[in-house]
Amino acid sequence: MSKKYFGTDGIRGTVGKGEITPAFMLQLGWAAGKVFAGEGGRQKILIGKDTRISGYMFESALEAGLSAAGVDVVLLGPMPTPGIAYLTRTFRACAGIVISASHNPYQDNGIKFFSTEGKKLPDDIEHSIEHYLAQPMDTVPSDRIGKTRKLEDSRGRYIEFCKGTFPRHLSLRGLRVVLDCANGATYSTAPSVFEELGAEVVTIGVQPDGLNINLNCGSTHPEALQKRVREVRADLGIAFDGDGDRVVMVDHDGDVVDGDELLYIIARGRHQAGGLAGGVVGTLMSNFGLELALQQMGVDFTRAKVGDRYVMEQLDARGWLLGGESSGHIVCLDKTTTGDGIVSALQVLAVMVEQEKGLSDLRHGMTKMPQKMINVRLPDKRDIMGHPSVQGAVKDVESRLSGRGRVLLRPSGTEPLIRVMVEGDDADEVALLCQHLAKSVEAVISA
């Protein structure tokens, strides 16, 4: 049974349009409250948000809806998404709500839920919430209305948790690190984590004003980080996205180290130390070079559909602990229950310190195949993937590659885009074929 509102990563869109309105958020809070209040006893739900300006508006609406359903609310304030997952678990809350549109610009916002275990909600719970979204809203008797309080030490609790995922016998002393917090949710937590572990920290993207989240900064725009690393002669740079669940890094030369390479570094470090339990889960977008490098180590690798939800499904099904995406959304289930940019960066740094090697040295064990991706914007929700012209263009590109690469077309789960990806052994050919395929898709959309 398909869902009307929930996508692969919650509910997301442009503020003021569709479901991203105060009225809908009021109803959503009430609907979620009805579902979770039915579990017996007085229930509480945690709400956290990133730094975009609309978060305050939606926080108030969700709070009112939950209270009307008889659920208590704990407000965390600006907090990384994985921090909300962690606190939901440790406070034994029945759920956690994240107000964020992740790496999207400030004009967008969205809602993500975590279960009491700090994981994404199962489908049946999302279906139940959607059932109540279609019902008229009512209010519990006045003596059962939910109460709200702020958790004053949420930041400190999460900082200590992150530090606890770094080996106690290691230190970051002697490392100069540039952090780009994307003017987002990590701005007040990440610097403290790395400083308290001993690093000399230089920061950018730590002055959020509600409008500058992800603006020419963060993991999707690492150019400023690359420049700053070279300027201050740092050992490395770390960039998070707006809600802190993704990370990319920059070596001392200013070269970007993406999610596939970071996943390889963590996997290789654990494998060499005898601590890699099982294999590694990537996605359909993972570079073929990652698969080959793991294969050479004798480490199993499998691909999930794009999206951390699907990576988690594969990890749970196989009993493995490590997986991730090219975007830098890395899951270390032995450390936490969801993708966490700070925790993932610390796992990479642990390998660096333990092996006394620089980031550029650690990445050299994996050779990336040339890969090109072009995003083609959709004007509406048409399904063009099965269009004969698109299918024909895909077959044409595949025949030109002659088994030397692969093609992937997929709709984005968070934006109105078709992602066109071509991978092969010749960078110039890959770029030309990807442009050819993207133009074919654009022609079908225009027609």
Q: What is the pLDDT of residues 101-155, one digit of tens each?
A: 999 999 999 999 999 999 999 999 999 999 999 999 999 999 999 999 999 999 9
Q: What is the pLDDT of residue 291?
A: 92
Q: What is the pLDDT of residue 40?
A: 62
pLDDT of 382 > 80? The answer is no
Q: Token pair for residue 406? A: 């692969």
Closest CA to 265 of 185, 179, 186, 353: 353
pLDDT in tens, 390-414: 999 999 999 998 878 889 998 887 6
Reduced to 3 states (helix: H, G, I; strand: E, B; else coil), residue 337 is coil
Q: What is the pLDDT of residue 383?
A: 74
Q: How far lies 159's CA from each of 148, 216, 399, 432, in Å?
A: 24, 26, 51, 46
| Average pLDDT over every residue of 263-289 | 95
Looking at per-residue confidence, does 224 or 9 come out higher?
Answer: 224
Cβ-based neighbour number of residue 371 at 10 Å: 24
For residue 102, indicate whether it is catalytic: yes
Report the Cα 442 to chain-centroid distance in Å. Answer: 28
Q: What is the pLDDT of residue 410?
A: 86
Q: Which of 234-248, 281-295, 303-317, 360-374 is predicted most confidently?
A: 234-248
CA distance 19 to 28: 9
The set of residues, in sequence order, having a beta carbon less than 8 Å from that of 446 and lying 6+ positions away, is: none
pLDDT in tens, 165-178: 999 999 999 999 99
Report the Cα 134 to chain-centroid distance in Å. Answer: 29
pLDDT in tens, 217-256: 999 999 999 999 999 999 999 999 999 999 999 999 999 9
| Average pLDDT over every residue of 62-80 | 97
| Average pLDDT over every residue of 269-296 | 94
- pLDDT band for position 39 (cuts 50, 70, 90): low
pLDDT in tens, 182-221: 999 999 999 999 999 999 999 999 999 999 999 999 999 9
Closest CA to 61 of 73, 50, 51, 76: 73
Cβ 338 vs Cβ 319: under 8 Å: no
Task: Catalogue all structural domains in the chain, each as residue range(s) with its CATH number.
Answer: 11-152 (3.40.120.10), 173-255 (3.40.120.10), 258-368 (3.40.120.10), 371-446 (3.30.310.50)
| Percentage of the chain lying above the pLDDT 70 cut | 98
The set of residues, in sequence order, having a beta carbon less than 8 Å from that of 118 and lying 6+ positions away, is: 85, 86, 88, 89, 96, 336, 337, 338
| Average pLDDT over every residue of 62-86 | 98
Catalytic residue among 54, 100, 102, 128: 102
| Average pLDDT over every residue of 6-12 | 89
- pLDDT band for position 447 (cuts 50, 70, 90): confident
Q: What is the pLDDT of residue 32?
A: 97
Looking at per-residue confidence, does 228 or 365 come out higher?
Answer: 228
Looking at per-residue confidence, does 365 or 415 come out higher?
Answer: 365
pLDDT of 69 > 90? The answer is yes
pLDDT of 381 > 70? The answer is no
pLDDT of 9 > 80? The answer is yes
Q: Token pair for residue 301? A: 């690798």
CA distance 313 to 308: 9
Q: Angle of helix 154-164 relative to helix 81-90, nearest 10 degrees?
A: 90
